Amino acid sequence: MSKTAKVRLFVDLPLIEGQPVTFAEEQSRYLVSVMRLTVNDEVLLFNGRDGEFAAVLTAVGKKNVQAEVCRQTRPFAAGEDIWLLFAPVKKDRTDYIIEKATELGVKKIIPVITRHTITDRVRTERFAAQAAEAAEQSRRLDVPQIGEAIRLETLLSGWEPDRRLFFMDESGRGLPARQAFAAYRGASAVLVGPEGGFSDEELADLRSKPFAVAVSLGPLILRAETAVAASLSLWQAVGGHWDGEEK
């Protein structure tokens, strides 16, 4: 008897009923050596554009597993139009940020280099792999896009003004988050600063932009990764679609 479909994988391949799929080495190893799947076992696949499909394994080698796509299990539906802009922090805390932002439904994640950003190397490839893994687990139908790291001033000078930029401002001068998010329902981005906070010049630059809104997350100082989870949760609850609609 084949196992019920539990394994869910992102593949960057077209998914069409009746078509074969060949898994890359790492996913093959995961299916065989970790999940111990074999021929006739079922997996769920998604590719970020065609929805989710059940597929049956047809050939199983340690480094090369093949399957056949059998039926669509969910049609594709795009998530909310919310981006996360964050200043990279230490490795494990950045890992947490990528994972939680993916679970909280962001469409795009952009690492932003600010005056007080401490990290020297931004591993966008690692971020992409982590985002794919979190998407597999959270039952998302897409994987957040990972943008190239960009300096804050460059980001601001090239910003498309019809996307609202909510920047998390721990000075207490921002609008309460609920109020800020309730007042605008369109394309949005949330920006969280580094452990050292934004510099005075950065705050002045942000405040001067007509598309930017300063947001307060309450009287306590949150760590950057907490501010990410709190701001995205509130955005989803107030401005997004945490309202029981079918995803």
Residue with tokens 């630059």: 205
Minimal distance in Å, beta carbon 218 to ligand SAH? 5
Q: Does the protein bind ligand SAH through residue 61 (CB under 6 A)?
A: no
* Minimum distance of ligand SAH from residue 130's CB (angstroms): 21
Question: Binders of ligand SAH among 153-212, rule CB under 6 A?
Answer: 168-170, 192-193, 195-198
Q: How far is Cα 86 from Cα 94, in angstroms, rounded to an integer?
A: 9
Helix (H) or strand (E) holding 45: strand 42-46
Spatial CB neighbours of 6, under 8 Å, sequence gap ≥ 6: none
Nearest CB to ligand SAH, comparing residues 52 and 169? 169
DSSP alpha helices (H): ranges in 72-164?
Answer: 91-103, 124-138, 152-157
- State the nearest-atom distance from the C-beta of 235 to ligand SAH, in Å: 13
Picking from 127, 116, 170, 168, the residue whose alpha carbon sits closest to that of residue 149 is 127
Closest CA to 155 of 98, 104, 198: 198
- Judged by CB under 6 A, the stretch of 65-73, 118-126, 205-213, 218-226 that binds ligand SAH is 218-226
| Of 27 and 233, CB closest to ligand SAH | 233
Find the binder of ligand SAH among 217, 229, 232, 234 (CB under 6 A): 217
CA nearest neighbour of 83 among 208, 158, 186: 186
Number of chain positions touching ligand SAH (CB under 6 A): 17
d(CA 42, CA 164): 42
Nearer to ligand SAH, 87 or 146 (CB): 87
Q: Is 13 exposed, middle or buried (0-12, 13-18, 19+ CB in 10 A)?
A: middle
Residues shown for the chain: 247
CB of 167 to ligand SAH, least distance (A): 7
3-state secondary structure of 64: coil
Considering the complex, state which of residue 56 and residue 175 has its C-beta at the smaller distance from ligand SAH.
175
Residue with smaller CB distance to ligand SAH, 16 or 221: 221
**The binder of ligand SAH chosen from 55, 146, 224, 232 (CB under 6 A):** 224
Shortest distance (Å) from residue 243 CB to ligand SAH: 24
Residue 87 CB, nearest distance to ligand SAH (Å)? 7
Chain residues binding ligand SAH by CB under 6 A are 168-170, 192-193, 195-198, 216-218, 220-222, 224, 227
